[in-house]
Amino acid sequence: MPEWGYSVIELDPERTVKASGRELRISHKSAREICKTIKGMKLEQAKRFLRDVIEKKQPVPFRRFKKKQPHRHGVQKASAAKYPVKAAKYILKVLQNAEANAEFKGLDTENMRIIHASAYPGMKIKRFMPRAFGRASPRFETLTHVEIALQETAAPAEEA
């Protein structure tokens, strides 16, 4: 079995938690755009955003993989947007795993912020599609790795 590492290093183990999803059967392009969008969000805000994407209420802005992509209502700072429902479901599961890791460590989940979110292509599953006259064409499916790291932020000072 391979031993997976993380692309983010030098995190404070007292205040941070990590979670990853390896070899997920989702589009690495959609997963990359979702991770770029949720990075820097608070935990509850990111979970609400992903639920809205799954319900097709809020689109994910596509900045890199946007050729022939349509415009969507309600997107700012981007010319194209989509509703990647399947990728949002899997990333929401990874986010919930990170939240469970934070609860296990005894961290305050209400003050957690996403400091690292990345998605990149994994291995390829190679298959063959039968064609005419006894030939075959290769068909590849690229799997995706998703990593999320959360950090506990300082609680806002209460005013008397």
Kindly report the three-state secondary structure assignment for every residue of the chain: CCCCCCCCCCCCCCCEEEEEEEEECCCHHHHHHHHHHHCCCEHHHHHHHHHHHHCCCCCEEECCCCCCCCCCCCCCCCCEEECCHHHHHHHHHHHHHHHHHHHHHCCCHHHEEEEEEEEEEEEEEEEEEECHHHCEEEEEEEEEEEEEEEEECCCCCCCC
Tell me what pLDDT residue 72 has. 80
The answer to whether the beta carbons of residues 5 and 120 sit under 8 Å apart is no
Query: Would you write out the chain's pLDDT as a tens digit for each of its 160 residues?
Result: 678 889 998 899 999 999 999 999 999 999 999 999 999 999 999 999 999 999 999 999 998 888 888 888 878 777 899 999 999 999 999 999 999 999 999 999 999 999 999 999 999 999 999 999 999 999 999 999 999 999 999 876 665 5
Tell me what pLDDT residue 1 has. 62
Tell me what pLDDT residue 66 has. 83
The answer to whether the beta carbons of residues 144 and 94 sit under 8 Å apart is no
Tell me what pLDDT residue 127 has. 95
Tell me what pLDDT residue 117 has. 96
Tell me what pLDDT residue 79 has. 82
Domains of the chain, with CATH numbers?
Answer: 19-152 (3.90.470.10)
> Tokens standing for 83?
């509703």
Query: What is the distance of C-alpha 83 from the center of its chain?
Result: 13
